[in-house]
Amino acid sequence: MSDRHSDGHGTHGFETVAIHAGNTPDPMTGAVVPAIYQVSTYKQDGVGGLRGGYEYSRSGNPTRTALEENLAALEGGRRGLAFASGLAAEDCLLRTLLAPGDHLVIPDDAYGGTFRLISKVVARWGVDYTVADTSDPVAVRDALTDRTKAIWVETPSNPLLGISDIAALAGVARAAGVRLVVDNTFASPYLQQPLALGADVVVHSTTKYMGGHSDVVGGALVTDDQELADELAYHQNAMGAVAGPFDSWLVLRGIKTLAVRMDRHSANAERIVEMLSRHPKVTKVLYPGLAEHPGHEVAAKQMRSFGGMVSFQVAGGEQEAVAVCDRTKVFTLGESLGGVESLIEHPGRMTHASVAGSQLEVPSDLVRLSVGIENAEDLLADLQQALG
Ligand SMILES: *Cc1c(COP(=O)(O)O)cnc(C)c1O
């Protein structure tokens, strides 16, 4: 993957762009960190005389602009847009891309809230969808109809850590004249660059690795297609689920350490995977870094490292999986992921309860870890005592 990004000051490495794009020192005070413009409206110099284009904070706010410029630079897109949550970003994207009668191809493993939004909300407006195994580009091609407008992919997927070949799917999408959407939440732009691989739009829950500290809920869209960017920006303002100034500031701050955090998340996850793979009470470990993972080669090709998300199945079924989640002390039992602190959860009863009974149902003996950046020995010891 390319390691050079344009950040408005020339071409720099990812870490430099993460810290500097959108973070221009304040011209008046020299403050090196963008201010939190906690404001709704702006004085006009005569009717229509806007200073810097700002008129109302739903349409635009300087702190949000700083984040949006940063997001665009990190994903290598022309335009970034920041939202109040990942689902707000997805809603804006779906209602921009689709109209009644249109069709969408969605993955057979995805964030439960994404499936709920598509199957329970968007479907009521006359949009239908086909669930496909997105790790198989042929299956995706076979799911296309003459009404299909987009292919939606999550890679690595939540919670089964499935891998889809972004470049191959971009080829399928381009041949059919449909758009490819990639939810890049699990990888983050440090580990994976979907636009460079041919995707049309990147989706993020910035709540996760981008924010990185479990202190903010946010979402983002990034595209390199100017026409689509204009349509998305129009809908962002028309629908109004924008990121507030303080939330934008928190995500912008989190992103500065994204690269070092992701390196440690991946390194800690690899240690844990090694231990779990040998543990007698673990029946299966799901991690794209494992050579036996069916998506390993594709992941190795399109990701810098394999990330901090690990799922595993335990002997003893659902009861034992729930018991393991209850016994950890360093891993906190909770939903969400991507923060500096390690989290453990039971997807079947927690994050993915909304997909029960659907084609996206997850195994009941599955445990999901969001491996944090604590001391690796402490994490290993905690899991070992919890497994018993
Ligand atoms: C959390 C998550 C979302 C939804 O984002 P919110 O910020 O919770 O609205 C979407 N996709 C993935 C992969 C997620 O993990």
**How far is ligand 1, taken at its centre, from the CA of residue 25, in Å?**
31
**How far is ligand 1, taken at its centre, from the CA of residue 239, in Å?**
19
pLDDT digits 0-9 by tens, 347-356: 999 988 877 8
**How far is ligand 1, taken at its centre, from the CA of residue 85, in Å?**
8
Which phi and psi angles does 17 have, rounded to 5°?
Answer: -65, -40
Q: Which two tokens stand for residue 190?
A: 């440090």
Q: Please indicate whether residue 60, judged by its CB atom, sits closer than 6 Å to ligand 1.
A: no
Residue 228 has pLDDT above 60, yes or no: yes
**How far is ligand 1, taken at its centre, from the CA of residue 186, in Å?**
9
Give the H or E element holding residue 273.
Answer: helix 258-278
pLDDT tier for residue 287 given thresholds of 50, 70 and 90: very high
State how far the Cα of 129 lies from the Cα of 106, in Å rounded to an integer.
Answer: 7
Q: Please indicate whether residue 111, judged by its CB atom, sits closer than 6 Å to ligand 1.
A: yes
Residue 382 has pLDDT above 90, yes or no: yes
Token pair 């041919």: residue = 198
| Residue 156: cis peptide before it, omega within 30 degrees of 0 | yes
Neighbouring-strand partners of residue 103: 128, 148
Q: Among 208, 253, 261, 368, which one carries the catalytic annotation?
A: 208
Q: Among 42, 58, 256, 281, which one carries the catalytic annotation?
A: 58
Q: Please indicate whether residue 114, judged by its CB atom, sits closer than 6 Å to ligand 1.
A: yes
Active site residue 183: yes
Q: Please indicate whether residue 87, judged by its CB atom, sits closer than 6 Å to ligand 1.
A: yes
Q: Among 64, 91, 102, 111, which one carries the catalytic annotation?
A: 111
Q: Please indicate whether residue 214, judged by its CB atom, sits closer than 6 Å to ligand 1.
A: no
pLDDT digits 0-9 by tens, 59-103: 999 999 999 999 999 999 999 999 999 999 999 999 999 999 999
pLDDT tier for residue 360 given thresholds of 50, 70 and 90: confident
Q: Average pLDDT for residues 254-259, to the nearest whole number?
A: 98
pTM of the full predicted structure?
0.96
pLDDT tier for residue 212 given thresholds of 50, 70 and 90: very high
**Residue 191 contacts by C-beta under 8 Å, 6 or more apart in sequence?**
262, 266, 303, 304, 305, 306, 307
Q: Check residue 359 and give its pLDDT.
A: 79
pLDDT tier for residue 358 given thresholds of 50, 70 and 90: confident
Neighbouring-strand partners of residue 148: 103
Residue 9 has pLDDT above 80, yes or no: no
Q: Which two tokens stand for residue 162?
A: 């499935």
Closest-lying ligand 1 atom to the alpha carbon of residue 186: 13
pLDDT digits 0-9 by tens, 238-253: 999 999 999 999 999 9
- Average pLDDT, rounded, for the chain: 96
pLDDT tier for residue 19 given thresholds of 50, 70 and 90: very high
Question: CB of 268 within 8 A of CB of 380?
Answer: no
